[in-house]
A and B are shown apart, each in its own frame.
Chain A
Protein backbone atom coordinates (compact mmCIF):
# COMPACT_ATOMS: atom_id res chain seq x y z
CA UNK A 1 0.00 0.00 0.00
CA UNK A 2 2.70 2.41 1.01
CA UNK A 3 4.65 1.60 -2.16
CA UNK A 4 1.61 2.35 -4.32
CA UNK A 5 0.94 5.71 -2.65
CA UNK A 6 4.58 6.67 -2.92
CA UNK A 7 4.82 5.71 -6.60
CA UNK A 8 1.64 7.57 -7.50
CA UNK A 9 2.87 10.68 -5.68
CA UNK A 10 6.20 10.51 -7.44
CA UNK A 11 4.48 10.16 -10.80
CA UNK A 12 2.28 13.19 -10.07
CA UNK A 13 5.31 15.28 -9.13
CA UNK A 14 7.10 14.12 -12.28
CA UNK A 15 4.17 15.01 -14.52
CA UNK A 16 3.96 18.44 -12.84
CA UNK A 17 7.66 19.04 -13.37
CA UNK A 18 7.38 18.05 -17.04
CA UNK A 19 4.48 20.47 -17.50
CA UNK A 20 6.45 23.31 -15.97
CA UNK A 21 9.34 22.44 -18.27
CA UNK A 22 7.00 22.42 -21.27
CA UNK A 23 5.68 25.87 -20.41
CA UNK A 24 9.25 27.07 -20.11
CA UNK A 25 9.96 25.53 -23.50
CA UNK A 26 6.99 27.19 -25.21
CA UNK A 27 7.37 30.59 -23.57
CA UNK A 28 11.10 30.91 -23.50
CA UNK A 29 13.05 28.31 -25.40
CA UNK A 30 11.17 28.58 -28.72
CA UNK A 31 11.94 32.31 -28.63
CA UNK A 32 15.62 31.74 -27.97
CA UNK A 33 15.83 29.25 -30.80
CA UNK A 34 13.77 31.37 -33.20
CA UNK A 35 15.85 34.50 -32.55
CA UNK A 36 18.96 32.55 -33.45
CA UNK A 37 17.40 31.03 -36.55
CA UNK A 38 15.96 34.36 -37.78
CA UNK A 39 19.33 35.97 -37.27
CA UNK A 40 20.93 33.22 -39.35
CA UNK A 41 18.33 33.68 -42.09
CA UNK A 42 19.01 37.41 -42.27
CA UNK A 43 22.77 36.80 -42.32
CA UNK A 44 22.27 34.28 -45.10
CA UNK A 45 20.27 36.82 -47.11
CA UNK A 46 22.89 39.53 -46.65
CA UNK A 47 25.63 37.12 -47.71
CA UNK A 48 23.63 36.05 -50.73
CA UNK A 49 22.94 39.66 -51.73
CA UNK A 50 26.51 40.83 -51.32
CA UNK A 51 27.66 37.88 -53.42
CA UNK A 52 25.21 38.59 -56.21
CA UNK A 53 26.20 42.25 -56.07
CA UNK A 54 29.85 41.27 -56.44
CA UNK A 55 29.17 38.79 -59.25
CA UNK A 56 26.37 40.14 -61.41
CA UNK A 57 26.95 37.39 -63.98
CA UNK A 58 26.29 34.68 -61.41
CA UNK A 59 23.12 36.48 -60.51
CA UNK A 60 22.02 36.67 -64.09
CA UNK A 61 22.59 32.97 -64.62
CA UNK A 62 20.48 32.23 -61.57
CA UNK A 63 17.90 34.61 -62.94
CA UNK A 64 17.63 36.83 -59.89
CA UNK A 65 18.35 39.82 -62.04
CA UNK A 66 20.97 42.50 -61.61
CA UNK A 67 18.64 44.68 -63.62
CA UNK A 68 16.30 45.13 -60.66
CA UNK A 69 18.17 48.16 -59.44
CA UNK A 70 18.27 49.88 -62.79
CA UNK A 71 14.81 48.76 -63.88
CA UNK A 72 11.76 50.91 -63.58
CA UNK A 73 10.82 51.24 -59.93
CA UNK A 74 7.20 50.40 -60.63
CA UNK A 75 8.07 46.93 -61.93
CA UNK A 76 11.11 45.47 -60.15
CA UNK A 77 12.30 43.18 -62.88
CA UNK A 78 13.83 39.73 -63.31
CA UNK A 79 12.61 38.05 -60.14
CA UNK A 80 14.34 35.00 -58.70
CA UNK A 81 12.13 32.01 -58.03
CA UNK A 82 10.96 31.68 -54.45
CA UNK A 83 11.88 28.32 -52.98
CA UNK A 84 9.83 26.74 -50.23
CA UNK A 85 11.37 27.33 -46.83
CA UNK A 86 14.03 29.72 -48.15
CA UNK A 87 14.26 33.38 -47.18
CA UNK A 88 13.95 35.98 -49.93
CA UNK A 89 13.28 39.30 -48.20
CA UNK A 90 13.60 41.20 -44.94
CA UNK A 91 10.65 43.06 -43.46
CA UNK A 92 10.91 46.19 -41.31
CA UNK A 93 7.98 47.67 -39.43
CA UNK A 94 9.03 50.83 -37.56
CA UNK A 95 5.82 50.77 -35.48
CA UNK A 96 6.81 47.43 -33.94
CA UNK A 97 10.19 48.79 -32.97
CA UNK A 98 13.01 50.60 -34.69
CA UNK A 99 15.15 47.48 -34.63
CA UNK A 100 12.28 45.16 -35.59
CA UNK A 101 13.29 43.21 -38.67
CA UNK A 102 12.39 39.69 -39.67
CA UNK A 103 13.19 37.42 -42.60
CA UNK A 104 10.36 36.50 -44.96
CA UNK A 105 10.38 32.90 -46.16
CA UNK A 106 8.41 31.16 -48.86
CA UNK A 107 5.50 28.93 -47.80
CA UNK A 108 3.34 28.83 -44.70
CA UNK A 109 4.17 25.43 -43.22
CA UNK A 110 4.73 25.23 -39.47
CA UNK A 111 8.39 24.47 -40.13
CA UNK A 112 8.69 27.71 -42.11
CA UNK A 113 6.90 29.80 -39.49
CA UNK A 114 9.49 28.68 -36.95
CA UNK A 115 12.18 30.47 -38.96
CA UNK A 116 10.51 33.78 -39.71
CA UNK A 117 7.54 35.33 -41.43
CA UNK A 118 5.87 33.14 -44.03
CA UNK A 119 4.76 34.20 -47.51
CA UNK A 120 1.57 32.51 -48.74
CA UNK A 121 2.93 30.56 -51.69
CA UNK A 122 0.05 31.18 -54.06
CA UNK A 123 -0.13 34.94 -53.53
CA UNK A 124 1.67 37.65 -55.49
CA UNK A 125 5.39 38.24 -55.38
CA UNK A 126 6.93 41.15 -53.53
CA UNK A 127 6.08 44.46 -55.21
CA UNK A 128 4.04 42.88 -58.00
CA UNK A 129 0.42 43.45 -58.93
CA UNK A 130 -1.73 41.33 -56.65
CA UNK A 131 -1.60 40.62 -52.97
CA UNK A 132 1.71 39.85 -51.25
CA UNK A 133 0.38 37.98 -48.21
CA UNK A 134 2.52 37.17 -45.17
CA UNK A 135 1.72 35.29 -41.96
CA UNK A 136 3.62 35.43 -38.69
CA UNK A 137 3.50 34.13 -35.14
CA UNK A 138 1.76 36.34 -32.62
CA UNK A 139 3.31 34.44 -29.72
CA UNK A 140 6.07 31.85 -29.36
CA UNK A 141 8.96 31.48 -31.79
CA UNK A 142 10.27 34.96 -31.13
CA UNK A 143 6.84 36.66 -30.89
CA UNK A 144 7.29 38.48 -34.24
CA UNK A 145 3.75 39.90 -34.38
CA UNK A 146 3.19 40.34 -30.65
CA UNK A 147 2.36 44.05 -31.06
CA UNK A 148 0.21 43.52 -34.15
CA UNK A 149 -2.81 45.41 -32.69
CA UNK A 150 -0.68 48.54 -32.42
CA UNK A 151 -0.46 48.84 -36.21
CA UNK A 152 -2.44 51.79 -37.56
CA UNK A 153 -3.44 53.06 -41.00
CA UNK A 154 -0.57 55.08 -42.44
CA UNK A 155 2.15 52.96 -40.80
CA UNK A 156 4.99 51.92 -43.05
CA UNK A 157 5.84 48.30 -43.79
CA UNK A 158 9.21 48.23 -45.53
CA UNK A 159 10.67 45.23 -47.32
CA UNK A 160 13.84 44.65 -49.25
CA UNK A 161 14.75 41.81 -51.58
CA UNK A 162 18.37 42.86 -51.88
CA UNK A 163 17.91 45.04 -54.95
CA UNK A 164 14.92 47.21 -54.13
CA UNK A 165 13.28 48.81 -51.11
CA UNK A 166 9.49 48.47 -51.09
CA UNK A 167 7.55 50.79 -48.82
CA UNK A 168 3.96 49.76 -48.17
CA UNK A 169 1.49 51.91 -46.24
CA UNK A 170 -1.24 50.36 -44.13
CA UNK A 171 -4.73 51.32 -45.28
CA UNK A 172 -6.92 49.21 -43.06
CA UNK A 173 -6.61 47.16 -39.94
CA UNK A 174 -6.14 45.47 -37.66
CA UNK A 175 -9.24 43.70 -38.89
CA UNK A 176 -10.48 40.71 -36.93
CA UNK A 177 -11.86 37.75 -38.83
CA UNK A 178 -12.29 33.99 -38.61
CA UNK A 179 -9.63 31.46 -39.67
CA UNK A 180 -11.63 30.23 -42.68
CA UNK A 181 -11.85 33.71 -44.24
CA UNK A 182 -9.41 33.02 -47.09
CA UNK A 183 -10.73 35.95 -49.10
CA UNK A 184 -8.64 38.35 -47.02
CA UNK A 185 -5.60 37.27 -49.07
CA UNK A 186 -7.31 37.52 -52.45
CA UNK A 187 -5.57 39.67 -55.09
CA UNK A 188 -8.21 42.28 -54.31
CA UNK A 189 -8.97 41.39 -50.70
CA UNK A 190 -12.59 41.35 -49.64
CA UNK A 191 -13.48 43.81 -46.84
CA UNK A 192 -10.21 45.69 -47.42
CA UNK A 193 -11.86 48.63 -49.12
CA UNK A 194 -9.79 48.09 -52.25
CA UNK A 195 -11.93 47.89 -55.35
CA UNK A 196 -9.38 47.73 -58.15
CA UNK A 197 -6.37 45.48 -58.75
CA UNK A 198 -3.19 46.92 -57.32
CA UNK A 199 0.04 46.14 -55.50
CA UNK A 200 -1.20 45.15 -52.07
CA UNK A 201 0.24 43.55 -48.96
CA UNK A 202 -1.62 41.55 -46.33
CA UNK A 203 -0.31 40.50 -42.94
CA UNK A 204 -2.09 37.81 -40.93
CA UNK A 205 -1.57 36.54 -37.39
CA UNK A 206 -3.64 34.84 -34.74
CA UNK A 207 -6.01 36.40 -32.28
CA UNK A 208 -6.38 36.28 -29.30
CA UNK A 209 -2.73 36.40 -28.40
CA UNK A 210 -2.51 32.81 -27.14
CA UNK A 211 -5.52 31.44 -28.98
CA UNK A 212 -6.51 30.43 -32.45
CA UNK A 213 -10.20 31.26 -32.72
CA UNK A 214 -9.66 34.37 -34.88
CA UNK A 215 -7.15 36.05 -37.14
CA UNK A 216 -5.96 39.64 -37.25
CA UNK A 217 -5.38 41.19 -40.66
CA UNK A 218 -3.87 44.43 -41.94
CA UNK A 219 -3.86 45.56 -45.54
CA UNK A 220 -1.39 47.90 -47.16
CA UNK A 221 -0.67 49.24 -50.62
CA UNK A 222 2.69 49.79 -52.30
CA UNK A 223 3.54 53.42 -51.69
CA UNK A 224 7.02 53.71 -53.17
CA UNK A 225 10.04 51.75 -54.26
CA UNK A 226 13.68 52.67 -54.58
CA UNK A 227 16.86 50.80 -55.48
CA UNK A 228 19.05 49.79 -52.54
CA UNK A 229 21.81 52.01 -53.93
CA UNK A 230 19.64 55.02 -53.10
CA UNK A 231 19.87 54.16 -49.40
CA UNK A 232 17.21 53.37 -46.86
CA UNK A 233 13.71 54.70 -47.50
CA UNK A 234 12.61 57.65 -45.42
CA UNK A 235 10.32 55.46 -43.33
CA UNK A 236 13.38 53.72 -41.86
CA UNK A 237 15.37 56.87 -41.18
CA UNK A 238 15.21 58.26 -37.73
Chain B
Protein backbone atom coordinates (compact mmCIF):
# COMPACT_ATOMS: atom_id res chain seq x y z
CA UNK B 1 0.00 0.00 0.00
CA UNK B 2 2.58 2.53 1.12
CA UNK B 3 5.06 1.14 -1.40
CA UNK B 4 2.50 1.65 -4.13
CA UNK B 5 1.93 5.26 -3.09
CA UNK B 6 5.67 5.88 -2.92
CA UNK B 7 6.19 4.50 -6.41
CA UNK B 8 3.44 6.70 -7.82
CA UNK B 9 4.69 9.97 -6.30
CA UNK B 10 6.50 12.15 -8.83
CA UNK B 11 10.03 13.53 -8.60
CA UNK B 12 13.17 12.36 -6.86
CA UNK B 13 13.50 11.02 -3.34
CA UNK B 14 13.42 14.42 -1.66
CA UNK B 15 10.32 15.59 -3.46
CA UNK B 16 8.66 12.26 -2.73
CA UNK B 17 9.52 12.62 0.96
CA UNK B 18 8.12 16.14 1.01
CA UNK B 19 4.88 15.10 -0.66
CA UNK B 20 4.57 12.12 1.73
CA UNK B 21 4.96 14.45 4.70
CA UNK B 22 2.27 16.75 3.34
CA UNK B 23 -0.01 13.78 2.76
CA UNK B 24 0.50 12.59 6.35
CA UNK B 25 -0.23 16.07 7.69
CA UNK B 26 -3.36 16.29 5.56
CA UNK B 27 -4.58 12.96 6.91
CA UNK B 28 -3.91 14.05 10.51
CA UNK B 29 -5.73 17.32 9.90
CA UNK B 30 -8.78 15.56 8.49
CA UNK B 31 -8.78 13.14 11.43
CA UNK B 32 -8.56 15.89 14.07
CA UNK B 33 -10.94 18.25 12.33
CA UNK B 34 -13.67 15.91 11.15
CA UNK B 35 -13.27 12.24 12.08
CA UNK B 36 -12.38 12.48 15.79
CA UNK B 37 -15.00 15.13 16.66
CA UNK B 38 -17.54 12.78 15.10
CA UNK B 39 -16.24 9.69 16.93
CA UNK B 40 -15.65 11.27 20.34
CA UNK B 41 -19.33 11.63 21.40
CA UNK B 42 -19.69 7.87 20.90
CA UNK B 43 -17.47 7.46 23.98
CA UNK B 44 -18.97 7.92 27.46
CA UNK B 45 -17.06 11.07 28.50
CA UNK B 46 -19.97 13.31 27.56
CA UNK B 47 -22.44 11.67 29.93
CA UNK B 48 -22.25 14.09 32.82
CA UNK B 49 -25.93 14.98 33.18
CA UNK B 50 -28.70 13.07 34.89
CA UNK B 51 -31.02 11.44 32.37
CA UNK B 52 -29.25 13.15 29.44
CA UNK B 53 -31.71 15.95 29.03
Q: Report A's interface with B, CB cutoff 8 A.
A: 6-7, 10-11, 18, 21-22, 25-26, 29-30, 108, 110, 113, 118, 120-122, 135-141, 145, 177, 179-182, 184-185, 204-206, 210-212, 215
Contact = CB atoms under 8 A, between A and B. Distances in A.
B32 A113 contact: no
Contacts, number: 81
Given A21-B36, A135-B50, A179-B47, 16 more contacts: A7-B1, A10-B1, A21-B31, A21-B32, A29-B36, A30-B40, A108-B49, A137-B46, A138-B45, A179-B52, A184-B50, A185-B50, A204-B48, A206-B48, A212-B47, A215-B49
B51 A180 contact: yes
Contact of B48 (A21, A122, A135): A135
Interface of B: 1-3, 28, 31-32, 36, 39-41, 43-53
Given A7-B1, A22-B36, A113 B50 contact: no
Contacts of B40: 25-26, 30, 140
